Amino acid sequence: MKNNNYQQLTRTFQRLSRFSHLSSIASWDMFTMMPPGGSAARGEALAEMSVLQHQILTDKKGGEWLAAAADEDLNDVEQANLREMTRHYQQATLLPESLGEAKSLAGSRCEHAWRTQRPANDWQGFSANLKEVVKLSREEARLRAEAKGCTPYDALLDIFEPDMTSARLDVLFGDLKSWLPELLAQVVEKQAQRSFVPPQGPFPTATQRELGLEAMKMLGFDFNGGRLG
């Protein structure tokens, strides 16, 4: 088979994509629709899914396929795919699966408790849950930083903005600081010269839904492939 190693990787990442799809749906349902009594079990199921995905992604066979695929005859798109697959593999192998499971469980517990803590103004209770999330995030940052030889902040930044560093951000924000305040002042002055009619709510849920559907139609949303929750 041509590019056998690349094809093996493609099948593996297709599996991961399907698991991620299911996790996203289960998470959305838990956050928006699920009664309080079901959140603990759903959180455990999502954590188990996180462990499964980590096991698939960090399997040593995947590392072997990645190394071998680098020598295969790949087109530009396939080479780009291989770079991204390699990056995902390298990011995942920096962390133990137990940390991913713990983060998933802690995040679910924190979000679920926040639903009742916020209206009750229970910041002390929220703090206890949030501390666990922060502790685990710091542990992740420490492990990533040690492996990459960088600061914890840069280690986490690289997840969301590949190859970005705090040093490069200082340059970017330094440039913004040189001209953005003046532009904002001009915008504020311009807006002050125009009348503005603020929306008068509250607005019925049905009306909001109708507006959302109209906006989705304008954007060309395929209602055969999805729906408005």
User: Could you read off the pLDDT tens digit of each residue along the chain, which spans 229 residues?
Assistant: 588 999 999 999 999 999 999 999 999 999 888 888 898 999 999 999 999 999 999 999 999 999 999 999 999 999 999 999 999 999 999 999 999 999 999 999 999 899 889 999 999 999 999 999 999 999 999 999 999 999 999 999 999 999 999 999 999 999 999 999 999 999 999 999 988 888 888 999 999 999 999 999 999 999 999 888 7
Note whether residue 55 is domain-resident: yes
Overall domain count for the chain: 1
Q: What is the 8-class DSSP label of residue 101?
A: H
* Predicted pLDDT of residue 5: 97
138 falls within a domain: yes
Whether residue 12 contacts residue 74, with contact meaning beta carbons closer than 8 Å, is answered with: no
The rounded distance, in Å, linking the Cα atoms of 171 and 152 is 19
Residue 131 lies in a domain: yes
- The answer to whether residue 217 sits within a structural domain is no
For the chain, report the end-to-end CA distance as a whole number of angstroms.
43
pLDDT at 101 (0 to 100): 96
- pTM, two decimals, is 0.82
Q: Is residue 202 part of a domain?
A: no
**Residue 46 near residue 23, CB atoms below 8 Å:** yes
Domain that holds residue 159: 4-164
Show Cβ contacts of residue 88 under 8 Å, excluding neighbours closer than 6 positions: 13, 57
What pLDDT is stored for residue 1 in this prediction?
58
Residue 45 falls inside a structural domain: yes
Residue 207 domain-assigned (yes or no): no
**Nearest-angstrom CA–CA distance, 44 and 66:** 31
> Which one-letter DSSP state was computed for residue 38?
G
Residue from 57, 151, 149, 130 nearest 95 by CA: 57
Rg of the chain over Cα atoms, rounded to whole angstroms, equals 23
Pairwise CA distance, residues 153 & 179, whole Å: 27
What is the spatial distance between Cα 136 and Cα 100, in angstroms, rounded to a whole number?
Answer: 9
Give domain status of residue 85, yes or no.
Answer: yes
